[in-house]
Structure 1
């Protein structure tokens, strides 16, 4: 089904321009995100218009808030762990077995309480995989034969998992038993955010678009973004009604690498927090 592209009155959030903005998370009245290439985690205050950056000791690719405060995240490599937003250090809590050249990419805590993360096979041989990690840090493969695991989010009740494979050009829905129940062809899908009505918003890398699909992955809306390399999307602000879109720098495109914001008539969901079972991994708050 063809969907007309909508022009949106976007605002630019502050002066920040990322080389590769990713993993936007709204938490405690602030937007947090990663500049993957710039090795920096940023905290942006939309009201004050300020941005505070922390240089990371390791190349980070995703932020996931932890229960009790703090951050979990996926990093380049096979490690998951805790990031200190004050000094930029990273403490490995779990190293997931697998080929060393298949690095983790995006990650999210689902509304079922599980942590989902996937790897990228830059050799395009389909060797990457989508993993799920439980509160006891036990882990298993949800889907094998993945090209480039990217956007991840769950339905409002946590029963359906949505997953973007950029190299395969697909967004796939996995049901309560995490078996595939639906899939749609999408041109270079990147980050994903599910709204309060169950709609699936997908950032499209290279085409300057954010598309919305229904919970059943039927095309619903398309928004034009003033930068071609659209990397991810999140909701925040008052009543979670502000959409935040991260982008990457593009030569000759003013404003690329910025975070774009707008009220697009949808309401988001709070970011889920990952809780590690007491006594598992390192002691103390993550």
Structure 2
């Protein structure tokens, strides 16, 4: 990767650059800290004239002139490349997430899917959106086994099931209106999936332009370098005592408010967060290689 960057027929097209975290790492690579300004100066000196004898004195009439050129460079886009070289040289970049450990820097390559959840934040309270979602409730109700019931009891059971589904939907819609709606990406390889959120300020360009141009799937092969920070999970997992993540998190929190917040976190993840069986990464760079 580092060698490829130095060839004249290849450059990197960055989609995402977390300058804040890269500066944090670069400060640890360099004894002088993170590079914020780069100045290059070139000077030339020319001398002319000579000595003149005046009576017994000797007067030096030579003249010296120095010209210089100073160039100021913005290292903003140099820093990501320097970070790649430094991290690669130190052997910090791992290429197999399955054999990596939590907290390590991982390079993941695959297809890139972009989801701008913020586009949906104002849609949940729209009647037409709720109507479209509720349209699927009768199908859920019809899935209840009522073969051993009378026609009257079947109608009662179907009504109860639909009311329960409506109540669950009301709760879901209320929760969706207050949960954070962030820009999300998911990267897919042949047998592995990685999920991340992106900070809008570090996206090169505008996410809305990408969505309007590509939809969800961005063309080409993309690379993500980031901090591996979450193992895949199973939403159906229960302990031997039948307890789930939300119960354990609530106990660890130790207070009523903490317990509610812990359960809210689990709900947020399950509703609009990281899908089960996917790895979690905090991206530093997302890019693709452009060659001649």
Question: What's the TM-score once normalised by structure 2's chain length?
Answer: 0.18
Q: Which has the larger radius of gyration?
A: 2
Task: From the two aligned structures, give the one with the greater strand fraction.
Answer: 1
Task: From the two aligned structures, give the one with the greater helix fraction.
Answer: 2
